[in-house]
Structure 1
Amino acid sequence: MGILEKIKEIEEEMARTQKNKATEYHLGLLKAKLARYRAELLEPTSKSGGAGTGFEVQKSGDARICLIGFPSVGKSTLLSKLTKTESAVASYEYTTLTAIPGVLEYEGVRMQLLDLPGIIEGASQGRGRGRQVVAVAKTSDLILMVLDATKSHEQRRLLEVELDAVGIRLNKRKPDIVYKKKTGGGITINATVKLTKIDEKAIRTVLAGYKIHNADVMIREDVTIDEFIDVLIGTRKYIPCLYVYNKIDAISLERLDELAREDHTIVISCELGLNLDRLVSKIWDEAGLVRVYTKKRGEHPDLTDPVCLRHGSTIEDVCDGIHRSLAANFKYALVWGKSARFNAQKVGAAHQVRDQDVVSIFTK
């Protein structure tokens, strides 16, 4: 029996099984098996890719942003509008057959924008070019899910299902679970909070499903069995997602207002160029990046070429962003901006920077 048949068999058994206290451990075991088979299905059999497929796009710029959506929702037009890259645009489906990169510039920051081929239902099982698309999507810092505002909410649900099936968790953070295998001593489970969605028996059932008999598990939040399996597998990607509803010029004002009020959502019209400036600003906010400007002693700060870092980065990360050898000789830094309690605050390497801070580095 192939992997696809095994996956289908487990999904059918889960659908038949009633959810109650007596079956929760059996369902937990089925979920663990399903997650393992799906991971095997999408694991590439060979590291070598076909020449000229365009899916092996080298990561460049300060962040990678992937455009994902069903065919003919306007991804190619959006890429052309936001960057200087011309991606094939036509009124029929499957115009884009490969990954088309472009560069989105925002206040001195360069972000790589990738137009990926349209996803079809069943992409998580390898249909169409789904396997290549999701492999590239897993390397992104932000996913732009481009949707057709004239169509039902079902399009968004189907895409979320496909991405969830391949281990991409949208707008979620990694569960606070520490899991460590060991050579002996059995299973040790500790929790710092009251667990209401999972118990020790369910945890042991899942571990047994993965043939793990010796491990330390520390749970620091009230997690579900699915979240525990995610941490156990260890290959899940937690990626922010911005839902971009295109073609708003073809819907009613009531529908437009309804979409615009949803979380992590923006409404646009590529055809008329509506709200594209706001989209770029929203991309910056959702990507979780910070710009840090450097200042030499006795000179004005350089506001043209920022060091671009992830939210939560420290002065040490700033040093690495300037030059890898700088951190080894670091003495202290002076900081101006939102992260400083006062101008020219003297800080150490562990000080967290914020967007548009100005930093002056002093070495030994």
Structure 2
Amino acid sequence: MSGLEDQIKEIEDEIQRTSYNKATSKHIGRLKAKVAKMREEAVQRAMKSAGGGEGYSVKKSGDGTVVLVGFPSVGKSTLLNRLTGKDSEVGAYAFTTLTVVPGVLEHKGAKIQVLDIPGLIAGAAMGKGRGKEVIAVVRSADLILILGDVYNGRHVDVLMKELYDAGIRINKPKPDITIKKAANGGIRLNYVGEEALEIDEVRSILAENKTTNADVLVRGNVSQDDFIDAMIGNRIYVPAFVAINKVDLVDEAMRNEVREEVVERFGDEPYMISAHSGYNIEALKDAIYENLGFMRVYMKPLGGPADLEEPLIVRSGSTIEDVCNRLHREFVEKFKYAKIWGKSVKHDAQRVGLQHTLADEDIVTIVTRF
């Protein structure tokens, strides 16, 4: 273990030994902020020593991008081939994939880019095992599929830690925290909603970033860790779920043992699959689609029939304006009104404006000024 990793572990051990209460919250906050800064500096040094932080050159395509994250030899390449038909090299040894291999999964009208990346190992966030390049790709993903296997369920914990240390926050909304540095006046803290942190905690955390004057606005209930993430400022918030591969190689008792282990550590049920045999792969495709938050919108030209064969794939919560921007930027500039048939309106052919929120399988006609 390097000297820096030793220092980080010592501080983390002290945090673990210290009971959190009002009297210790300021001290714990400062220790957590110190560790976060040390990790961030270590990651940046690792990137520079490895020749920059750009990572592999991967052009994003399709309606969304999912990255397969796992230890070497868990079956990522086999799964890519099963999902997409891509001929990725497969071998029964570690590090078969030495670069990023893209494929396209077509499901429910969506074209989803699937990236098979080299396996992560412990210490990847600090640059070990091509960690710098791999982490850069993961940070650009719309969805992370964490892949383990039935023989190494505990590896999910290691992967989660590496992602966390690399500044990737999974299945978590970005905290609504604004920190604006000021020339003077000290730390001024304002809340909208519950006051979860004391001013002394905030001052202590910001002091580790050499910030002594700032206007801070917090909306909603946040933790010290949330505030530290906002202070560091480069965190990525990405949805993710777990799949456990090679379930065809063990009996039901072992499957259940691994499944329960993952639920205990991750909080959600993993998808139990076999990339080799195809077991549960259709359910996995559905999970990828749903976790990307997709919905289908069918376009209907004015006076013509709706195109029910090729839907426009958009994210849940999309508006008419979002659809116009997907079609052509001039649609917003020349927009007059839209007509909707579907769940998002009270009656068919209802006229709506740009800010109308769509629902899955809505039929849409865009009317523009000529």
Q: Distance in 2 between matches of 1:45 and 1:9?
A: 21
> Paired residue for 1:45, among 38, 44, 48?
48
> Paired residue for 1:332, among 326, 337, 352?
337
Give 1:106 shift: 1.3
Contact 1:10 1:30 in 2 (8 A): no
Per the alignment, in what secondary structure is the counterpart of residue 281 of structure 1? helix
**Corresponding residue of 2:175:** 175
Per the alignment, in what secondary structure is the counterpart of residue 104 of structure 1? strand
Give 1:93 shift: 1.2
**Corresponding residue of 1:310:** 315
Which 4+ residue blocks in structure 1 deviate beyond 6 angstroms?
46-50
Residues 1:307 and 1:42: Cα distance change in structure 2 (over 3 Å):
farther
Contact 2:248 2:274 in 1 (8 A): yes
Which deviations, in whole Å up to 9, do the C-alpha atoms of 1:30-51 show, x marking residues without a partner? Answer: 221222232233334399779x
Residues 1:245 and 1:158: Cα distance change in structure 2 (over 3 Å):
same
Matching of residues 49-198 of structure 1 within 5 Å: 55-152=56-153, 154-196=154-196, 198=197
**Corresponding residue of 2:239:** 240
Q: Distance in 2 between matches of 1:94 and 1:32?
A: 35
Contact 1:307 1:322 in 2 (8 A): no
Contact 1:244 1:267 in 2 (8 A): yes
Counterpart AA for 2:237: Y
> Paired residue for 2:301, among 290, 296, 307?
296
Q: Distance in 2 between matches of 1:99 and 1:146?
A: 16
Which deviations, in whole Å up to 9, do the C-alpha atoms of 1:299-331 show, x marking residues without a partner? Answer: 111233332222222110100000011111111
Contact 2:34 2:208 in 1 (8 A): yes
1:230 aligns with 2:229: yes
Q: Distance in 1 between matches of 2:256 and 2:129?
A: 35
Which deviations, in whole Å up to 9, do the C-alpha atoms of 1:150-180 show, x marking residues without a partner? Answer: 333x211111011000111111111232333
Give the TM-score, by structure 1 length. 0.91
1:270 aligns with 2:275: yes
Which deviations, in whole Å up to 9, do the C-alpha atoms of 1:133-154 show, x marking residues without a partner? Answer: 11100000000111102333x2
Gaps of 5+ in 1: none
Give 1:73 shift: 0.7
Per the alignment, in what secondary structure is the counterpart of residue 162 of structure 1? helix
Counterpart AA for 1:175: P
Per the alignment, in what secondary structure is the counterpart of residue 330 of structure 2? coil
Give the TM-score, by structure 2 length. 0.89
Residues 1:84 and 1:218: Cα distance change in structure 2 (over 3 Å):
same
Contact 1:54 1:100 in 2 (8 A): no
**Corresponding residue of 1:322:** 327
Q: Distance in 2 between matches of 1:142 and 1:264?
A: 17
Per the alignment, in what secondary structure is the counterpart of residue 45 of structure 1? helix
Contact 1:79 1:115 in 2 (8 A): yes
Counterpart AA for 2:214: A
Gaps of 5+ in 2: none
Per the alignment, in what secondary structure is the counterpart of residue 351 of structure 2? strand
Matching of residues 202-213 of structure 1 within 5 Å: 202-213=201-212
Counterpart AA for 1:226: D
Q: Which stretch of structure 1 is more off in the superposition, 285-294 or 59-68?
A: 285-294
Contact 1:80 1:87 in 2 (8 A): yes
Q: Which stretch of structure 1 is more off in the superposition, 279-288 or 168-177?
A: 168-177
Contact 1:191 1:220 in 2 (8 A): yes
Share of identical aligned residues, percent?
43
Aligned length: 357
Q: Distance in 2 between matches of 1:224 and 1:167?
A: 16
- RMSD between superposed Cα atoms in Å: 2.4
**Corresponding residue of 2:357:** 352
Contact 1:54 1:98 in 2 (8 A): no
